[in-house]
Amino acid sequence: MRGNEMPEFDFRCDGGGCVIVERVAGAVVIRDSKNPYQPGLVFSRKEYADFRRRVRNGRGVWLRRLIGQYVQLAVRFVLARIGSV
């Protein structure tokens, strides 16, 4: 980040699970709001765009099975954002 530039945040809750998506210095970080001090999922902006595309095209199912609830929250967030764009 340059100077006093603030990161951009999106905050989304769905059924008690809240996700924070932060855009900082060319990266996107997805965090669980209930565990803010645990490491988040870090994507480059290109990787995040690919992740969103995969979720939108229905290929997020394997991610949910592979990684579990944390990614489920991220997938819900992305689906909610896609619906609001």
Residue ranges, the chain, pLDDT below 50: 1-7, 84-85
Number of domains the chain is built from: 1
The per-residue pLDDT for 24 is 82
User: What pLDDT is attached to residue 18?
Assistant: 76
Q: How far apart are CA 8 and CA 14, in angstroms?
A: 20
Q: CA triplet 22, 23, 28: central angle to 5 degrees?
A: 85
What's the confidence (pLDDT) of residue 65?
Answer: 58
Q: Would you say residue 2 lies in a domain?
A: no
Structural domain of 60: 8-80
Confirm whether 85 is domain-assigned: no
